[in-house]
Each structure stands twice: as structure tokens, then as C-alpha cells.
Chain A
Amino acid sequence: MRDTEQAPQQAQNPTSFDIHLSGARVAFGGVDIFDDLDLTLRAGSFTCLLGPSGVGKSTLLRFLAGLVEGDVSGNITCSDGGILKNRIAYMAQQDLLLPWRTVRENVELGAVLRGERPDHARAEHLIAEVGLTDAAHLRPAKLSGGMKQRAALARTLMEDRPVVLMDEPFSALDPVNRLRLQELAARVLRGKTVLLVTHDPLEALRLGDHVHVLSGAPATLADAITPDGQSPRNITDPAILAQQAELLRQLGADISTGYGAEAVS
């Protein structure tokens, strides 16, 4: 776990409480997606959730966000005694930018939806931070995929919530843009408690302080792998590559003959 004292100056509001999820159960159509699941998100740490498609990663994240309805049970507690609801910001795989609003108006959406006066100066600052100052007046249709996700990241940061839940936010991007966005996210989210869902082991190792694999049906969580050093990590580091091999093994890939030679199930 990264110590908050070590966090550089970007962490203006480091998160000070742990989140404990216990006995979580979600079922769709009578089938358990997961049952009796426990997970702890340490204050100010970046946790990645890895797993095959359809295993329930997004469902777990949406459960924490309070977005899953129906056959649901479990406890979410915060170590400071507060409730998690209203303390999270959510970023999805799709940018979810409103096509009729400009980048600036999209970034300020949260305040508008709550009936508050948007902090324009802060919005400008965050738009500059994600490198979109020249595009702030444009509507999403005029932006590239990478620019849209940058705008979505700025909107997420604008909420200034202690906990950020991200559901495969970079998976639709090309590799170069993905690396750039990962770097940006690692920098601007420092000090916040982050849960990132991804299907890319290297992305998880590059960004995560703790990497969990979710697998099986009903899904269970494996013990976390904790890569060394500060994110964003160098993905050519042999230690990271060794941990990637371990994650691939946990995901069910046969890597005995050199991973990639056998089909990743």
C-alpha cells in the first residue's frame, strides 16, 4: 500500500478512510454472480480488479457505486463511520459525454445536476490538466476517442470525491493513447482511493497498488498481488513481467510452454 506521506504534491485531498465490503452477494435471474465476497480498499490506494469477461467485475464495481438493483445483499462500511454513497465518482468504459454539451459544460455536469453553481476556474484548471484547453468549447462529436476519455477523466476529477470507481475506462483506446491516459490517471488520481476494473494484466500492474483477480462462478477474489514501486510502473521491468505471468496463470492461461503459445481461455 502506498503511504499517503509519500504522495507528491498533486494529492491535494488524500482520502483518509478505508472501505470494507463484506458478504457481498449479487444475483441476476436467480443465478449468483458472486456470493459472500469480501474486499478492502485501503485509504488512498489504487486497486485493480482483473478477470475474464462476464465474471462480474463491472457488477462488483457498480455494487460499490450503489447502481445494482434487485437481488442484492452485503455491507459496505467506511472506516471513518461515514457512508460511501455520495463520496464516489464514477467513470465508465464509454465516455458518457452528453453530445449537446461542450467539453467544459460536460466537465461541469455534476454541479449542474445538483443545482450548484459550477466552479468555472476549477473546471478550466482540470481541462488544462488533461490537455484539452483548446477543445474546451467543442462538442464531443468533434473529439477523438482519446480526447473524449480525457474529458471524461476531467469530469470525474471535477467531482472531487475521495473514491473513484473506474470501469475499463481505457479499453476502447488505441495502445499509445491508452498508455498516455494511464500515465495521466496515475498522476491526477494520486492520493484518492481508486478501484479500476480492467481485463488487461499489464494495465493493472502498471497502475495498481493491489491487483485482485476475480474468477469462477459464483466469482471469488484471489489474494492481491502488490507490485513494487510507484505507479505508473515500467511495463518492461522483469519483476512486472513475472507478475503478469502469475496473473495470466490465475486468469486460466496455460503459460507452461511460454505464454501466448497456448490459447488464453
Chain B
Amino acid sequence: MSLQNNPHTHRKPLTERRWLMLARPLIIVVALIATWQALVLITGAPKYMLPTPTDVCATLIARHDVLLDHAQYTIAETVIGLFAGAALGTLAAIPMALFSPVRFWLMPILLVSQAIPFFALAPLLVLWLGFGLASKIAMAALIIFFPVTVAFFDGLARTETGWLDLARTMGASRWRLLTHIRLPAALPAFASGFRVATAVAPIGAVIGEWVGSSHGLGYLMLHANARVQIDMVFACLLILCAFSITQYFIVDRVLRAALPWQPDSLKPVR
């Protein structure tokens, strides 16, 4: 008896594929910066409208102390908001999947909560929770609560019926059925929701900072914009971008490592 092997036919050699994988993001970044530089040269846009990449780079270096100081607030708000929102989403999804009355009462509330534009909530959160971190964390947590809850609930509700039948014939208790079958089976769905959440969490934090704060990249952007320091605005944007991508990359890697059996962690079929 032999173990199954995935055929590797019709594929480029591994080294070539790895080289392309590493080079691709670099090529994309260089191409974007070149296009940006060309756009400034062609349109002749003044520095206070559209600074060149070199201007922005100079600002990043010259003002790195200020930028990093504010970035740490935004990063803290995002990361804490992400975990708080995911925890709340998990806490809402499990009883919804287990008890149908909870589902019937909570689902409409969840849907209504999504009908409220979260931009409109930001001033209220600042009013209630103050100018500090709390209101921004709440904003980030609120934004990601829905995708996490819905994805996890969906995963919990769609447990393979064969597994449930098998567990019943084995005499499984409701609690052990949840912890040993339904929860692990729903983890890939939770991971999908958490990935979406990771991508949108910084938006919540920055919106919170726009509405009312004295720290953070959102605050710094508004501040610089009012003083026509557009190079500073761009520097903030670049840091936000780099942070979002790094955070997504780390979360994706951790989730893949934690769930090695989930289908999308296996080698892709090309």
C-alpha cells in the first residue's frame, strides 16, 4: 500500500516558481512607484497636491520619530480591536449555533447593526468612550464583529451530518460534540472571517482617530492635511499600508499553521 502522491506534472521547476513568488511583489511595488513618479512629472502637479515618491521617502526618514510615535497608537488600537471583535464574534456565534431561540433573537439585531453606517457611530463612540484608545478599539471591534460572527456561525451550522450521526451512535454528549467536532469543523470558516476582519480592522481605528483623538496615524493625517503637508499624509498612508499587509500576512501564516488540515492549506491544484 502506498501513500497518495500529488502529480507534479506540467509545472515550472520549483526554484523558478519560488523566484517569481519573491520577485512579484517587488516588481509590483517598483512599477507602482515608477507610475506615481511619472504621473507627477507628466502632470507637473505641485508638491502640495501630489508629492513625488522621493519627497515622501524623505519625509518618512526625516519625521520617522513622529510617524512611529503615532503609528504605535494605531497599531495597538487595531490589534486589540481585532482580538476583542473576534472574541465577541465567537461568543455570539456559539450560542447562536447551539440554541435556536438565541439565533432567532440575535440574527435580526446583527442584521440591523449592519444597516447602520459605522461612520455615523464614530462620533457617538468618541462621546461615550472618550478621546483615548477605548473609542478606537471599540470602532475596530465593531467593524470586524459581523464578518467573524457570520463566518463562524455559518461554519458551526454546517457541520457534516454524517459526523453528527456518527457521534450520536457513539453516545457523544452535546458539549463534547461541540468541542470535538462542531468547533474544529467550523475553524476554517472562522479563519475566513478572521482574515476579512484583519483586512478591515485598521479602517475602524483610523476612522475613530479622524473623528476625535490626539494620537494615531489618522489624527496625524488630518493634522498634516490641514497644514497642506501632503508628503506627511502620504507617509502616514504608506505606513498604514505596510502595517495592514504585514498584519494580514502574519495572521494568514498563523491560521495556516494552526489548521494544517483545512482544504486551502493544502497544496493548490493547478
Contacts and interface: CB of A to CB of B under 8 A. Distances in A.
Nearest to B163: A96
A141 B261 CA distance: 7
A67 B1 contact: no
Contacts, number: 74
Contacts of B163: 96, 98
A96 B3 contact: no
Interface string A114-128: 110000000000000
A66 B187 CA distance: 29
B22 interface: no
Contacts of A146: 1
Interface stretch (A43-51, A87-95, A182-190, A229-237): A87-95
A99 B162 CA distance: 13
Interface stretch (A34-42, A70-78, A105-113): A105-113
Given A96-B162, A98-B163, A109 B170 contact: yes
Interface in B227-270: 259-262, 266
Interface residues of B, number: 28
Interface hub of A65, A66, A90 (most chain B Cβ within 10 A): A90
B170 A98 contact: no
B166 A143 contact: no
Given A92-B162, A147-B1, A114 B261 contact: no
A4 B19 CA distance: 67
B162 to A, nearest CB: 5
A259 interface: no
A204 B170 CA distance: 26
Contacts of A94: 162
A112 B171 contact: no
A114 B172 contact: yes
A18 B171 CA distance: 22
- Complex A-B, nearest 10 residue pairs according to Cβ-Cβ distance, in ascending order: A113-B172, A90-B169, A110-B170, A99-B261, A100-B261, A96-B162, A113-B170, A96-B166, A113-B176, A100-B184
